[in-house]
Structure 1
Amino acid sequence: MSDQDWMEQARALVGRQYGRIYAWDPVNRPMIRHWCELMGVEMRSNAEGRAIAPAAMLQVWCMAGPEANHYPEGSTTDNPFEVLGCLEAQGFAAVVAVNSEFSFARDVLEGERLYCTTRLESLSEQKTTALGVGYFVTVVMDYYAQGEAGGADDPVGQQLFRVFKYRPAQQARPVAAGAPSVPVIPRAMPGLNDDNRFFWEGAQQGRLLIQRCQGCGDLHHPPGPVCPQCQSFEWDTVQASGRGTVYSYVVMHYPEVPPYEYPNPIGLIELEEGVRVVAQLVGVQPDQMQIGMPVQVEFNTFGELTLPQFRPVA
């Protein structure tokens, strides 16, 4: 298929409206309560005593679950992201989410049953980025509450979701003797301000410093101008032992962004002091990662940047 033919086929999908995807469960109080507890917000109810789902939960109700494209009976079997298949067939195999924007029409209430429809909004012209060459794909999902007692369905919100589908840029290869050297891409420097400068200066000295409120003694990370517990502006720092355990982790595979090596394990480390920090894990293979694994901080320097990283310990 020529470049013109496959692109015409892909662009013909723009504007296509895909059928309904129904929620597995009605909007319910337990899921709302769990969300509110995890996000640290208060659960609200309307005048009738029905729980109000936080607006940011909107996407949750119509998700498939752990199994891809596994939706309730009556949902469309069409793939609203079929345009991605057109791009993959032409070698644009990598994908990265770019942005997700929500707008809300009204509160979603306990007991309502939701569904969403999807429309392919746009397919950009070919773009060249640091990740590679590819196309931005934008879809719009409209969310509705099914009418109660035979009433009309009611729009409750909309989500715009955009991804970049691309061919990864060529990775650096070993340079033959006598060939011009390939410039080394440095790690990005952190954004320094008066609230976090102590942390990075401590790392340069081989010290893992944690912010402490002078009002209530609360330890918190990442650092900020105000204590999240008592709202005091007065703080100092304490040096952590550097010992902790893996509370959670992810292993990043794509997109492969220089100069990082992949797979790239990133851990949420719970320190002995009770504070959790996000850091790269070293000295461990992805298939050896375990929740609860004991780790110890070490400080590694990359050019002008010194990073606290964590290594498993026996």
Structure 2
Amino acid sequence: MSDDLSVRLDDLSARLKAYEGRPAVLDGHGKDPVNAPMIRHWCEAMGDTNPAYTGPDAIAPPTMLQVWTMGGLSGHEGRSEAYDELLGALDDAGYTSVVATDCEQEYLRALRPGDEITFDSVIESVSGRKTTRLGTGYFVTTRMDVRVGGESAGTHRFRILKYAPANRKRKEPEPELESEPQRSQRPPRPRPVVNRDNAGFWEGVGRHRLLIQRCADCATLRLPWLPGCNACGSPDWDTVEAGGEGVVYSYVVMHHPPFPAFDPPYAVGLIELVEGVRIVSNVIGVPYDKVRIGMPVRLEFVRYDDELQLPVFRASDDAEEVVA
């Protein structure tokens, strides 16, 4: 690295660091109060049947904390100039792509239908320059403090990577099943986040087994893996292996944003397994525009490189009847 480039990068890092502690959103207000229809939609999508989320004394699932603060397409009226300036400085420096990396939440108070949400958000940290598989950039973390009637309800930290994509030549769309030489030429796919709560799931994938958690107390099945049971709260569990059959419960077709390791458009499905749980994965075996809700699919494991293999779902022979 030349001395001039090093000086310019140091100067940029110093400019970015100066935004730490400055507001991202001031005096934010939820566009809708906590409400039963949204709770119902969330629970249906997640397959969460916990009785605490229904009835006259219902509470909202804690993980919905961010939902009540979302600005939608029109954004937040209280969004600060500082946050726009920070993102603009990264854009001007060539870090024009963005991907959400992770979030952390802390729950302090149950939210109930009718609660009016207020919040402030601050730019908590901007990392130094990092090199990732997607490219080189900076991690930006915001912290949102959520309140109800002035009382703290929870904290939501959200982290994005603003990056310059790695300088790799885009390939023309490849056949669905690639040869080993073809596969080795493709940019690597992003890796899943493996932690203490889901390590067993990924170990199972490595053995071509799709493992579903089962509560040791009430036998409720759950996927994705969680540290405790949604139904009874028990932390004890074992696993059962999925048979591999299911149907497309819902799906989207991804067109944008493009990433070097993917060739849009492609179909991403919410697959309901015969065991009753759901998993998000790619739908293969039919053109993306032929995927349909209710289409039968079966599990396959696809290896993308020496380190990564993933469960995907191939449209079964019966899918022709659904497409027709």
For 1:155 and 1:53, how far apart are their aligned partners in 2?
Answer: 16
Q: Which residue of 2 aligns with 1:177?
A: none
SS at match of 2:59: strand
For 1:100 and 1:255, how far apart are their aligned partners in 2?
Answer: 22
Q: Which residue of 1 aligns with 2:51?
A: 42
- CA offset digits 1:227-252 (Å, max 9, x no partner): 999x9x99987866x5x542222445
For 2:145 and 2:274, how far apart are their aligned partners in 1?
Answer: 46
Q: Check if 1:310 corresponds to 2:310.
A: no
- CA offset digits 1:138-181 (Å, max 9, x no partner): 111111223xxxxxx2222221111111111122578xxxxxx9
Counterpart selection for 1:78 from 61, 77, 80: 80
For 1:156 and 1:255, how far apart are their aligned partners in 2?
Answer: 37
For residues 95-134 of structure 1, the aligned pairs below 5 Å read: 95-134=98-137
Specify the code of the residue in structure 1 equivalent to 2:68. Answer: W
1:133 deviates by 0.5
Q: Which residue of 1 aligns with 2:22?
A: 16
For residues 169-248 of structure 1, the aligned pairs below 5 Å read: 169-172=166-169, 245-248=247-250
8 A contact 1:297–1:309 mirrored in 2: yes
1:281 deviates by 2.4
SS at match of 1:134: strand
8 A contact 1:202–1:209 mirrored in 2: no
- Structure 1 unmatched ranges of 5 or more: 147-152, 175-180
Q: Check if 1:168 corresponds to 2:165.
A: yes
Residues 282 and 8 of structure 1: CA distance in aligned 2, closer, same or farther (over 3 Å): same
For 1:157 and 1:218, how far apart are their aligned partners in 2?
Answer: 28
Q: Which residue of 1 aligns with 2:62?
A: 55
Counterpart selection for 2:152 from 151, 155, 165: 155
For 2:43 and 2:29, how far apart are their aligned partners in 1?
Answer: 23
8 A contact 1:199–1:210 mirrored in 2: no
8 A contact 2:201–2:211 mirrored in 1: no
Relative to the length of structure 1, the TM-score reads 0.64
Residues 228 and 247 of structure 1: CA distance in aligned 2, closer, same or farther (over 3 Å): same
Q: Check if 1:88 corresponds to 2:95.
A: no
Q: Which residue of 1 aligns with 2:178?
A: none
Q: Answer 1 or 2: which has greater helix percent.
A: 2
For 1:306 and 1:107, how far apart are their aligned partners in 2?
Answer: 36
Root-mean-square deviation (CA), in Å? 5.0
Residues 124 and 109 of structure 1: CA distance in aligned 2, closer, same or farther (over 3 Å): same
Specify the code of the residue in structure 2 equivalent to 1:104. Answer: Y
SS at match of 2:87: helix
8 A contact 1:32–1:43 mirrored in 2: no
1:137 deviates by 0.5
Residues 172 and 68 of structure 1: CA distance in aligned 2, closer, same or farther (over 3 Å): same
Residues 162 and 228 of structure 1: CA distance in aligned 2, closer, same or farther (over 3 Å): closer
Residues 42 and 134 of structure 1: CA distance in aligned 2, closer, same or farther (over 3 Å): same
8 A contact 1:196–1:223 mirrored in 2: no
1:105 deviates by 3.0
Relative to the length of structure 2, the TM-score reads 0.63
- Structure 2 unmatched ranges of 5 or more: 1-6, 172-181
For 1:165 and 1:76, how far apart are their aligned partners in 2?
Answer: 22
For 2:199 and 2:12, how far apart are their aligned partners in 1?
Answer: 49
- CA offset digits 1:23-61 (Å, max 9, x no partner): 12223344445545642222279xxx7543333222121
Specify the code of the residue in structure 2 equivalent to 1:310. Answer: R
Work out the percentage of aligned pairs sharing the same amino acid: 36
